[in-house]
């Protein structure tokens, strides 16, 4: 009886278990798929960091998010931007939009060209930024980015605390801290 039961169990069909399939993560041959992170140093006017560091992540070869921290005419500066890369090649043109925030700084006394002394402060400075540019990312990791565009100040940031400066006295301050062009370059390494 035991022998018969053993033969019966041995001849039962084997249960069908699903086989595990291992699929490799597909990495494209373009440089942004192979090296999705970038750390760079930026120097610019109304750029993400002003003068500072930028970290970028290529979520897709065509879509990149960036964040920067640095120093600008509005004191400490933070920035974040999303951009669309048009090409999979090492050189790609792009369009981007972002948000910048300068922390502002305290009271400064100045005598303008008119000879009138005045005191001013630069308050918090939020901006919307729109840019176009080119990025180069080599297969070895070297990264270069150049951007130009416009940054729109979202709230008034220049406050006159004392004195009565002329419009000519205020013009340099408004150029330095108001809405205006974006011009920036960044050099870095992708990994």
pTM: 0.79
- Burial of 185: CB neighbours in 10 Å, binned 0-12, 13-18, 19+: middle
Question: Residue 113: what pLDDT?
Answer: 82
Picking from 3-7, 91-95, 132-136, 150-154, which range would have the lowest pLDDT averaged per residue?
3-7
CA atoms of 186 and 173, how far apart (whole Å): 25
- Which residue would you say has higher pLDDT here, 26 or 27? 27
Picking from 22-26, 134-138, 186-190, which range would have the lowest pLDDT averaged per residue?
22-26
Q: Contact, 55 vs 79, CB < 8 A?
A: no
Question: Residue 13: what pLDDT?
Answer: 73
Question: Residue 29: what pLDDT?
Answer: 86
Domains in the chain, ordered, with CATH?
Answer: 31-104+123-154+180-190 (2.40.160.20)
CA distances for 41 relative to 47, 49, 59, 150, 184, angstroms: 11, 9, 20, 20, 10
Q: What is the mean pLDDT of residues 12-33?
A: 73
Is 26 a residue whose pLDDT tops 60? no
Is 89 a residue whose pLDDT tops 80? yes
Which of helix, strand or coil describes residue 51?
strand
73 backbone dihedrals φ, ψ, rounded to 5° = -65, -15
Q: How confident is the model at residue 20 (pLDDT cuts 50, 70, 90)?
A: low
Q: What is the mean pLDDT of residues 141-169?
A: 94
Cβ neighbour number for residue 136 with a 10 Å cutoff? 15
CA atoms of 191 and 189, how far apart (whole Å): 7
């Amino acid at each position: 009886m035991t022998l018969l039961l053993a033969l019966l169990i041995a001849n039962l069909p084997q249960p069908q278990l699903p086989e595990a399939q291992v699929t490799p993560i597909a990495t494209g041959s373009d440089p942004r798929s192979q090296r999705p992170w970038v750390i760079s140093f930026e120097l610019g006017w109304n750029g993400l960091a002003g003068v500072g560091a930028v970290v970028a992540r290529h979520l897709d070869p065509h879509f990149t998010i960036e964040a920067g921290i640095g120093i600008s005419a509005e004191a400490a500066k933070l920035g974040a931007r999303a951009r669309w890369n048009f090409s999979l090649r090492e050189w790609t043109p792009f369009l981007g939009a972002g948000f910048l925030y300068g922390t502002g700084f305290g009271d400064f006394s100045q005598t303008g060209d008119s000879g009138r002394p005045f005191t001013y402060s630069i308050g918090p400075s939020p901006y919307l930024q729109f840019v176009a540019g080119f990025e180069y990312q080599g297969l070895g990791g070297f990264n270069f980015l150049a951007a130009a565009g416009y940054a729109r100040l979202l709230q008034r940031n220049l406050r006159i605390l004392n004195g009565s400066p002329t419009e000519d006295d205020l013009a340099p301050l408004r150029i330095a801290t108001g809405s205006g062009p974006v011009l920036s370059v960044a050099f870095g390494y992708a990994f």
